[in-house]
Amino acid sequence: MVKKIKLISKIEDIKGDINRIVGEFGFQQKEVLGLDGGWNPDVDIYENADNITVEIELPGVEQKDITLLLHSNRLEIKGFKREEEKSRKPKYIRLEREYGSFRRFVFLPGAVIPEETTAILRNGVLIITLRKYGRERKKERVVNIHKARE
């Protein structure tokens, strides 16, 4: 029985650490874990030399119901999936599709250039392409030297 108490104590310590760390970033634990209500769309993230690409499955979600927010190295995708209106309320035998609000946070592996971010909704998949910051910085640039005023 003593071991159980120690285990619960350890779990509470871990939970406290998570809350402290997440709080330092300015959002709540439930937001990070996707527990703030609604449903969680599936996300794929991949990169190449120039871009980071985020693909989010949003079948049945209209473009006007999606909002993208870019905060430093964090992308927030939120929106609403509307349920189709049926002339008569059916008696469901199985209902697996989710409706209502959704919100996802995606932590990016590096800095991006916000002005060069593009997004397209194609066949129920939102594809967001973020230009990596730093690629431009590696290019050579001539710096003019001006004559000092005396």
Of 148, 130, 25, the closest CA to residue 68 belongs to 130
- Domain identity same for 85 and 118: yes
32 burial level (CB within 10 Å; 0-12, 13-18, 19+): middle
Q: pLDDT value at position 123?
A: 93
Please indicate, yes or no, if residue 146 is contained in any of the structural domains.
no
Q: Are 18 and 61 within one domain?
A: no
| pLDDT tier at 15, thresholds 50, 70, 90 | low
Which residues span the domain enclosing 6? Answer: 1-34
pLDDT digits (tens, 9 = 90+) for 91-144: 888 878 888 999 999 999 888 988 889 999 999 999 999 999 875 554 555 666
| Threshold 0.75, pTM exceeds | no
| Same domain as 85, residue 14 | no
The radius of gyration of the chain from alpha carbons, rounded to an integer in Å, stands at 23
CATH classification of the domain holding 68: 2.60.40.790
